[in-house]
A and B are shown apart, each in its own frame.
Chain A
């Protein structure tokens, strides 16, 4: 069964701690993305990667970091520098060769920082 997995579904952290969100895909997609969703808002792009060992900042990258050491994996670290980390985080992947293809999304991780 091909798809994207994100773990955990719910994550709780104390302020000042870094936390890493996992994202794995077995769709053989080159491109992967991280989005943040806040209540009543659309999705905002944090980081994206078009190929292994390469990634680019999205619209709201401050306070976040990523790595792309394997094609299947694109973990996101929410650092203590992120001022409002509590949000719903969605990972996605897509084909990157050719015209824009649809992105496939994981089930999301709801992060609460207190």
Chain B
């Protein structure tokens, strides 16, 4: 069975600090996809990134960066110079093995609530 663990329930930082959100996953599949989503107070989940298991390159998008390490089954998310608008719950998710022609189910972690204050 697949599992995603986000051990940090809640993190509080002061604006401009860097913060890393941890994500550890378990799967027996050799091919899989990982995702990060942001859930602001409005409730709607916003897609941030999708990464497949064959691509271990780190990715940077503005103040966001992701570190994928297959050896430790981790896909951590770092926000550089955090801002108040980054306050949200962040979810890491893992797709099950891909079967052509079928919808892909996601397994979500329990989320990390990030609070950024002035």
A-side residues, CB < 8 A to B, are: 30-31, 33, 40-45, 48-50, 56, 58, 88, 90, 92, 94, 96-108, 110
Contact = CB atoms under 8 A, between A and B. Distances in A.
19 contacts: A31-B103, A31-B104, A33-B105, A42-B108, A43-B45, A44-B108, A45-B106, A49-B103, A90-B44, A96-B104, A97-B101, A101-B104, A103-B106, A105-B37, A105-B44, A106-B44, A107-B42, A108-B43, A110-B43
A103 B111 CA distance: 17
B102 A96 contact: yes
B43 A107 contact: yes
Tell me the dominant secondary structure on chain B's binding face: loop
Taking each of A40, A43, A101, A104, which has the highest tally of chain B beta carbons within 10 Å of its own beta carbon? A43
A43 B91 CA distance: 9
A50 B102 contact: yes
B95 A100 contact: yes
A103 B24 CA distance: 20
Interface residues of B, number: 27
Nearest to A48: B103
B64 interface: no
B103 A43 contact: no
B63 interface: no
